[in-house]
Amino acid sequence: MKLYLTLIKHTQLSLLTISIALLAILPSWQALAPDQIPTSPLYFLAHTSLFFVMVIRPLADLLPQYQFVRPLVILRKGVGVFSAAIIVSFILSKIIMDAGGYFENFFSLDYWSVTSLAFFAHSADITAVLLLVTSNNLSKKILGLNWKRIQKLSYVYFYASGIYVFGSFGDTLVLSYMVIVTVLTGLAYLSNKQRTALKTT
C-alpha cells in the first residue's frame, strides 16, 4: 500500500506539471498554428479526465471493501486540473488571437444562446476557469468553507460540457459518462445516507 500511495503522489505531481506545461505552451501554439493542434484528442482527454474526477468518489463510497479505490480520490485534484487546463488553454488561445472580439462576444446574447447550446459550452468554460484558478492550497486558505462550494462547480463543468457535446455532436460516449456518473452518485448518496442512519440508531 505504501508503494501504491507513493505512485499516486508521483502521478499527481506529474499531472500538475503537465497541466502547467499545457497552459504555458498550448495557447500560443493554437493561436500561431491552429492546424497543427489535434483538438479532438485533447477534448477527448479533457472529458475522459473529468469523468474520472466525477466517478471516483462515488465508487470509493460504494466500494469501501476495496482498499485500493479510496486512495484514488487523491488524484481528483491532479486529473481535474489537467482537464480544466486543456479547456482553459483553448480559451486563452482565442483571447490571444482576438481579445477584443472574444470579450465583445462574451457579453452578447448570442454567446449565451440556449437554443444553440452555446450556454452550456460557455458555462462549462467559466466553471473550468474557476476550478483551475482555485485548485491550490492558497485559494483553499483564503476561501475557507466557500472553497468546497466552488469545487462543487465540477458538477456544472461536467454536465454542461456533456450536454453541449452530446447535443451538438451526438457523442454517445459523453452521454454514457453522464449516465454512469448520475447513477453512481445517486447510489452513493443513498448508501451514505443509510450508513448515517444506522450510526444514529
- Please write the tens of the pLDDT for every residue from 128-160: 999 999 998 899 999 998 999 999 999 999 999
What would the mean pLDDT of 19-44 be, rounded to a whole number?
90
Residues 75 and 184: their CA atoms lie apart, in Å, by 18
Check whether 194 has a pLDDT greater than 90.
no
Residues 1 and 4: their CA atoms lie apart, in Å, by 5
Amino acid at 47: H
Check whether 198 has a pLDDT greater than 90.
no
Higher pLDDT, 38 or 66: 66
8 A C-beta contact, residue 178 and residue 172: no
Residues 126 and 164: their CA atoms lie apart, in Å, by 14
Q: How many Å is the maximal CA-CA distance in the chain? A: 64
Spatial neighbors of 12 by CB under 8 A, at least 6 apart, are 74, 75, 77, 78
8 A C-beta contact, residue 42 and residue 86: yes
pLDDT digits (tens, 9 = 90+) for 82-93: 999 999 999 999
pLDDT digits (tens, 9 = 90+) for 105-120: 888 988 898 888 999 9
Higher pLDDT, 107 or 81: 81
pLDDT-based confidence at residue 38 (cuts at 50, 70, 90): confident
The pLDDT, as a whole number, for residue 201 is 66
Provide the grid cell at 7. 505512485
Check whether 199 has a pLDDT greater than 80.
no
Higher pLDDT, 41 or 199: 41
Provide the grid cell at 65. 471493501
The pLDDT, as a whole number, for residue 114 is 85
8 A C-beta contact, residue 131 and residue 123: no
Q: Which of 94, 80, 82, 89 is nearest to 26 (CA)?
A: 89
